[in-house]
Amino acid sequence: MSHAIVTRGLEKRYPKGGTYAVQGVDLAVDHGEVYGFLGPNGAGKSTMVRLLVTLLRPSAGTAHVAGHDVVKDPAGVRASIGVALQDAAIDPLMTGRELLELQAVLHGLSRRASAPRGALLLERVGLSDAGDKRVGEYSGGMRRRLDLAMALIHEPRVLFLDEPTTGLDPSSRLLLWDEVRRLRDQGTTVFLTTQYLEEADQLADRVGIIAGGQLVAEDTPEALKAQVGHPHVHVVLTNAADRERSLQVASAVGDPRPGVTDHCLDVSVQDGSLELPALVRALDDAGIAVASLDVVRPTLDDVFLQKTGAHLAEEAVA
C-alpha cells in the first residue's frame, strides 16, 4: 500500500439535520507524513476523523486506512491506528496508570506486558509522578497528554489527533508539538486537525483546508501561501486625510489598495523587504507622515480567505 490514508468521494450525512458534514473528499496521505486538516468550527473535521477511525459509517465513498477498508475491515483499521478524539472521555475514577493498562489490554497486550508499557508511556508524556492520581484530579493539559499516551500505547502506524491543542496553554502546546515531530521522525503517519493556522504551518508536511465539509485546498504550507501571491506592506498613516494621495504615491512601488480603516493602506509588492526603502522614500518625499510600516507575508488565513471568502479566527500562539 503506497498511502497511509486514502479516501475517494468520502461523504457523511448525519441522520438528523440532513446536510452534508463531509462532502466528496478525496485524500491521499503518505506514510510518515504529518497531514494537517485545517478548518473552522463545524467545518467537518471531527466528522472526517470519526469516519476514518471507524466510529462513523460513510454515507458514500470509500476510505482505506493503513491498507484496510474502514467499512469492510474495521477491525483491521482499529488494530493499526491510535486515536485521540476531540472530546476525550477519560474515566475520572481511574488513575492514569490504570487507564493506560486498560488501554494496553484492550489492544491485546497481555496483562503482564501492559504494566511496564503503561509506565513507559507515562514517563514519555511526563506524567510519571501523577500516574497514581485519579484522572479526575488532572488538569486539562495533563488529560490531553494522558490521552495522547493512550493513543500511543500500541505504537500505531497511523495516529489521529483531533484538535489536540485546543484549550492548552502555550507551553503545553509546545510540548505536544515536539511529541508530534518526534513521532514523525520515527515514521508515524499523523492526521491532525486544527483550527490554528500556526499549528498547521508549524507541524504539517501538507495541509488540507476544509470548509463546509469540502476540501477547498491542499498542498504544502509554503505552496499554499505562494498560491495566494505576494507579500504586502501595511501602512498606517498619521493623518487619514493623506490617504488618497498616498495611494497614488505608492502605486509607483507596488499595487496599493485602501486598508480596513481610513488611516491605512496595503501595498502589494513582489518581495517585501526590497521595496520597503523605496516606499518609505516615496511617502517621505510627498510629505506624508507615516505612523508605521510593516511587511505582511501571506498566511494560511489568506489562503483560507481566498478559497472560502471567510477568515479563520487566528489565535495568538506564544
Ligand X SMILES: Nc1ncnc2c1ncn2[C@@H]1O[C@H](COP(=O)(O)OP(=O)(O)OP(=O)(O)O)[C@@H](O)[C@H]1O
- What is the binding site for ligand X (CB under 6 A)? 14, 16-17, 21, 39, 41-47, 86, 195
CB of 120 to other proteins, least distance (A): 5
Region of 40-48, 115-123, 130-138, 146-154 interacting with Mg ion (CB under 5 A): 40-48
> Pick from ligand X, Mg ion, other proteins, none: which does 230 bind, CB < 5 to 8 A by kind?
none
> Pick from ligand X, other proteins, Mg ion, none: which does 95 bind, CB < 5 to 8 A by kind?
none
Q: Which residues form the interface with other proteins (CB under 8 A)? A: 15, 53-57, 68, 74-76, 78-81, 83, 85, 87-91, 93-94, 101-103, 105-111, 113, 116-117, 120-121, 123-126, 134, 150, 154-155, 157, 171, 174-175, 177-179, 182, 186, 202
Give how many residues touch Mg ion by CB under 5 A. 3
CA distance 46 to 43: 8
Nearest to 27 by CA among 9, 6, 12, 11: 6
Closer of 49 and 237 to ligand X (Cβ): 49
Closer of 236 and 317 to ligand X (Cβ): 317
CB of 38 to Mg ion, least distance (A): 12
> Pick from Mg ion, other proteins, ligand X, none: which does 235 bind, CB < 5 to 8 A by kind?
none
Site for Mg ion contains 227 (CB under 5 A): no
CB of 46 to ligand X, least distance (A): 3
> Pick from other proteins, Mg ion, ligand X, none: which does 16 bind, CB < 5 to 8 A by kind?
ligand X
> Pick from ligand X, other proteins, Mg ion, none: which does 216 bind, CB < 5 to 8 A by kind?
none
The correct pick among 46, 95, 103, 246 for binding Mg ion (CB under 5 A) is: 46
Cβ distance 6 to 195 under 8 Å? no
CB of 106 to other proteins, least distance (A): 4
State phi, psi for 107 to the nearest 5 degrees.
-90, 15
**What is the torsion angle, in degrees rounded to the nearest 10, for the CA atoms of residue 128, residue 164, residue 140 and residue 114?**
-30
Residue 95 DSSP symbol: B
State phi, psi for 112 to the nearest 5 degrees.
-70, -40
Closer of 65 and 267 to ligand X (Cβ): 65
Q: Is the dihedral of CA 245, 246, 249, 252 positive or negative?
A: negative
Site for Mg ion contains 80 (CB under 5 A): no
> Pick from ligand X, Mg ion, other proteins, none: which does 44 bind, CB < 5 to 8 A by kind?
ligand X
CB of 41 to ligand X, least distance (A): 4
Interface contacts to Mg ion, rule CB under 5 A: 45-46, 86
